[in-house]
Chain A
Amino acid sequence: MKDDIILTMRGICKSFPGVRALNNVDFTLRRGKIHALMGENGAGKSTLIKVLTGVYSMDGGEIRIEGHDSPIIIRSPQEAQNYGISTVYQEISLCPNLTVAENLYIGRDTSSTVDWKTREKKAGELLEGLGIPARPRQQLGSISLAVQQMVAIARAVDTDCKVLILDEPTSSLDDNEVEMLFRLMRDLKTRGVGIVFVTHFLEQVYEVSDQITVLRNGELVGEYEVDKLPQVELVSKMIGKTLDELSTIKNKKAPSGEAEVLYEAEELSSTESKKFDFHIDKGEVNGFTGLLGSGRSESVRAIFGADQVTGGIIRIHGKKVQITKPIDAMKNGIGYLPEDRKRDGIIADLSVRDNIILALQVLRGMGHPISRQNADAFADEYIKALNIKTASRETPVGSLSGGNQQKVILARWLLTHPEYLILDEPTRGIDVGTKAEIQRLVLKLAEEGVSVTFISSEIEEMLRTCSRLIVMRDRNIVGELTGADLTQERVMSTIVGRGDDHE
């Protein structure tokens, strides 16, 4: 059996300043097997892949590959390729303006002229051999993303790779395209290629993989055979039970059914999300849950108009309104704390004060500037109210800690006195103390009559704060849990699809 192993990684460690990204992780890949690498965001999947492809150098551990007696050191993606390790990234790294044939061979040939005839003939044979529905002369940009991805795989295969890494290959593909990709993956299996399949779609893992390695917080949870690991167990291994001292916080309020419906959407859809119905009562806290990529962020982004809205009817206080861009949502009293704080939230170089007054200023319009005196007063008020730890209101927000940056964005929205606040992962990457503060604040806001939609990767946190949970899987709402159903077990079984059985 030992001969079947083509790649082993032992005791891999990698640290970044302040973070231990990988701690003593093992990974083994066998010939002709598809090995899924699973874990929530920040678990260390991509770090492990980047160590393997030479993008990062490792701090400790060893990598062995078949055909080399001693451990190998990989310094660059090019070297990885020379060892037979090829990667196909989620973002396709081919040139859209060239033909399929060119994309297969460019950068690999040695002669200084291009023989189009032979090249196209060879490309045709390669594509046909792998059953890829692309023609050599097609412009790459004119074919679907799925086929582009398969062309990238064909290029990797043609370079005689032993290890093929597919990094989130299915995240932008539809069901048929995923099926096409899987057929190709199974075909490569029979050719003896070992495939590392990084994804967060559970069902896809069970469809094609042979083994699963689960990582959590940079540590190895374990390696399992697919048929011996039920989905529910996999989810609990990925998420882990995070015991913390926050159990005192609890949303006691149950949805009474009498409260006024504040926001209601029918068949809302955006370029990023499928159609869904959604409503929230005045003073309710509800949440979207599901694994990463299940569409929970995309749904709230559609509500706020952050992605291009493609359809749907929206009512606020029963009155039909149109929300197609963030400013519409803001004018209707909706606030949105985005998932990616650095990219969509803070403006790092502006001061705490300027970041706080930003949304209010936009609402008032550029013709009605907030006076310096008022701005200072607002900033001081919220720095105190939210206990923001900053040297002064003039400090650039980029120099604050993550938790305090998050509070600044919260302050920004609270200042606009929203009726409905959407918080997308407000507690990610911040310390436990601030987490508790934010959760308490959410409940306090709800008591004051503000509706809140809360998204978090930590289920326990959601169970504590939300009175209703909307469960999503593969971009569809698959269940709604309230009252007694709000338990970790029920949430997990709904995520993997077992909850439907007895409903």
Chain B
Amino acid sequence: MDEKGLDISRRHREPITDTQLLLTITICIFVCMYVAAILIWGGGFKKPQMLFDILNDNAYLVIISCGLTIVMITGSIDISVAGVTALVAMTGVMILNGSMPFFSVLQASLGLADSSRIVFAALMALLIGLLFGLVQGYLIAYLEIQPFIITLAGMFFARGMITILSVDPQKAPQALLDILQKRIEINWLGSPNKNGVIIPARMEVGVVIAILIVILVFCMLRKMRIGRSFYAVGGNRQSALMLGLNVRKTRFMAHLFCGILSGIAGFVFMMHTGAGNATNATAGEMNAIASSIIGGTLLTGGVGNVIGTFFGVLTLSTIKAIVTTSGLRDPWWQSITTGAMLCLFILLQSVILMRRHRNKH
């Protein structure tokens, strides 16, 4: 992987940018860590299914991390993402199991089958995400209120709304879950079980959605005018203004995207768990921030990449898987290791960037 980084720079005949450098580091670290896991702990890590399990469990995290990366590139922050995810999941489950009278009546009056509830749930997911994005984006970009405070309020609001919807955990009906949880089976990546029968690797639809989103956001950040504006605004807001960019609109759009992506993440989360619960996706926003940072997004804005974020999520989840595999099943070990790794990553990033910028002078 290290060679790949060098290769890129040679082809471009340019020293790689900070973004590319941090991305390369992240990918290297992930690959090294995964290889180490295979060599040291073997077992589950040898099977491709381990990687798919990690992806299945964290598809929603990939999506909210993408949204958060956009926001962080513009130099802002959104900590309501996991709250919105949980709210969407709860709403979706309640639509599916018919405890939302409005949708049940709507379905009956239109004479639709039960499976149409999935469409309602998906539309509601987008709507809730959109609303959060609109309101938070407007307050942050146009009224220039601190993003941290606004989205903190958004987080509390979303978590509170979940409890208003239902104090008790809700479960989606099995018939609909069977549709939602249809898995994609990949035979050639399968591995034999104890009896020697090849079990195909299973991937959920949510993973496909998540990967599609990573690709779409990547293209937007790279190719679209709005994407480049995110970088410019995050790099230097004053300069961006002088360069003729609409800074307010750019910041608004970033939060709008993030809101919508949180909505989609909520739907994916619901597809994975099939249950609505007030504690859904707890600390998801913190994991998303951590993933973005591991992926090379700077909290100060202007630098970041969703491919890095994707590997950031993988790295973070792999650390957790390793901790669990190595026998430290108590949850605090995961937290402690995650904390230590995050610290290490940030240290590594700043040391590398510092050395780089010192050489310049």
Q: Which residues of A contact B (CB under 8 A)?
A: 77-78, 92-99, 102-103, 106-109, 111-114, 116, 135, 137-139, 141-142
Q: Which of B17, B235, B243 has the most CB of A within 10 A?
A: B243
- In the complex, what's the smallest C-beta–C-beta distance from B351 to chain A, in angstroms? 17
Q: Does B240 contact A (CB under 8 A)?
A: yes
Q: Does B174 contact A (CB under 8 A)?
A: no
Given contacts A94-B243, A95-B235, A106-B232, contact A111 B15 (CB under 8 A): no
- In the complex, what's the smallest C-beta–C-beta distance from B154 to chain A, in angstroms? 28
Interfacial chain A residues near B229, Cβ < 8 Å: 106-107
Can you name the residue of chain B whose Cβ is closest to the Cβ of A111? B225
From A77, A95, A137, contact of B232 by CB (8 A): A95
Please tell me if the beta carbons of A98 and B14 are within 8 angstroms of each other in the complex: no
Task: Summarize B's interface: helix, strand, loop or mixed.
Answer: helix
Given contacts A95-B302, A97-B231, A114-B225, contact A137 B14 (CB under 8 A): yes
Given contacts A77-B242, A106-B245, contact A98 B225 (CB under 8 A): no
With A97-B303, A114-B223 given, name 9 new contacts (CB 8 A): A93-B236, A93-B239, A97-B19, A97-B236, A107-B243, A109-B225, A114-B225, A116-B223, A139-B17
Given contacts A106-B228, A114-B224, A139-B18, contact A96 B236 (CB under 8 A): yes
Interface string of B318-351 (1 = CB under 8 A from A): 0000000000000000000000000000000000
Please tell me if the beta carbons of A107 and B14 are within 8 angstroms of each other in the complex: no
Interface string of B1-43 (1 = CB under 8 A from A): 0000000000010110111000000000000000000000000
Interfacial chain A residues near B355, Cβ < 8 Å: none
Contacts A/B (CB < 8 Å), 18 sampled:
A93-B236, A97-B231, A97-B235, A98-B228, A103-B243, A106-B228, A106-B232, A106-B243, A106-B245, A107-B229, A107-B243, A108-B244, A112-B224, A113-B224, A137-B12, A141-B18, A141-B357, A142-B15
Q: Does B194 contact A (CB under 8 A)?
A: no
Q: Which of A78, A95, A98, A113 has the most CB of B within 10 A?
A: A95
Can you name the residue of chain B whose Cβ is closest to the Cβ of A81? B244
Please tell me if the beta carbons of B231 and A95 are within 8 angstroms of each other in the complex: yes
Please tell me if the beta carbons of B12 and A107 are within 8 angstroms of each other in the complex: no
Please tell me if the beta carbons of A96 and B235 are within 8 angstroms of each other in the complex: yes
Q: Tell me the complex Cα distance, A139–B235, Å.
A: 12
The 3 closest A-B pairs by CB, nearest first: A107-B244, A95-B235, A97-B235
In the complex, number of A-B residue pairs with CB atoms less than 8 Å apart: 78
Can you name the residue of chain B whose Cβ is closest to the Cβ of A77? B242
- In the complex, what's the smallest C-beta–C-beta distance from B217 to chain A, in angstroms? 15
Interfacial chain A residues near B240, Cβ < 8 Å: 95, 107
Given contacts A93-B243, A106-B243, A135-B14, contact A98 B224 (CB under 8 A): no
Interfacial chain A residues near B302, Cβ < 8 Å: 95-97
Can you name the residue of chain A whose Cβ is closest to the Cβ of B219? A113
Q: Tell me the complex Cα distance, A77–B235, Å.
A: 21
Interface string of B202-224 (1 = CB under 8 A from A): 00000000000000000000111
Please tell me if the beta carbons of B244 and A97 are within 8 angstroms of each other in the complex: no
Please tell me if the beta carbons of B225 and A113 are within 8 angstroms of each other in the complex: yes
Q: Tell me the complex Cα distance, A8–B263, Å.
A: 57
Interfacial chain B residues near A97, Cβ < 8 Å: 17-19, 231, 234-236, 302-303
Given contacts A93-B239, A102-B228, A139-B17, contact A107 B245 (CB under 8 A): yes
Interface string of B189-203 (1 = CB under 8 A from A): 000000000000000
Q: Which residues of B contact A (CB under 8 A)?
A: 12, 14-15, 17-19, 222-229, 231-232, 234-236, 238-240, 242-245, 302-303, 357, 360
Interfacial chain A residues near B224, Cβ < 8 Å: 112-114
Interfacial chain B residues near A141, Cβ < 8 Å: 18, 357
Q: Tell me the complex Cα distance, A113–B360, Å.
A: 32
Q: Tell me the complex Cα distance, A99–B242, Å.
A: 17
Can you name the residue of chain A whose Cβ is closest to the Cβ of B234? A97
Can you name the residue of chain B whose Cβ is closest to the Cβ of A78? B244
Q: Tell me the complex Cα distance, A499–B325, Å.
A: 80
From B223, B231, B244, contact of A113 by CB (8 A): B223
- In the complex, what's the smallest C-beta–C-beta distance from A155 to chain B, in angstroms? 8
Interfacial chain A residues near B239, Cβ < 8 Å: 92-95
Q: Tell me the complex Cα distance, A92–B240, Å.
A: 11
Please tell me if the beta carbons of A138 and B14 are within 8 angstroms of each other in the complex: yes
Q: Tell me the complex Cα distance, A103–B236, Å.
A: 12
Q: Tell me the complex Cα distance, A107–B236, Å.
A: 14
- In the complex, what's the smallest C-beta–C-beta distance from A29 to chain B, in angstroms? 22
Q: Tell me the complex Cα distance, A97–B225, Å.
A: 16
Q: Tell me the complex Cα distance, A106–B247, Å.
A: 12
Please tell me if the beta carbons of B223 and A95 are within 8 angstroms of each other in the complex: no
Please tell me if the beta carbons of B232 and A142 are within 8 angstroms of each other in the complex: no
Q: Tell me the complex Cα distance, A102–B238, Å.
A: 16
Please tell me if the beta carbons of A98 and B232 are within 8 angstroms of each other in the complex: yes
- In the complex, what's the smallest C-beta–C-beta distance from A167 to chain B, in angstroms? 13
- In the complex, what's the smallest C-beta–C-beta distance from A241 to chain B, in angstroms? 40
Interfacial chain B residues near A94, Cβ < 8 Å: 236, 239, 243
- In the complex, what's the smallest C-beta–C-beta distance from B24 to chain A, in angstroms? 15
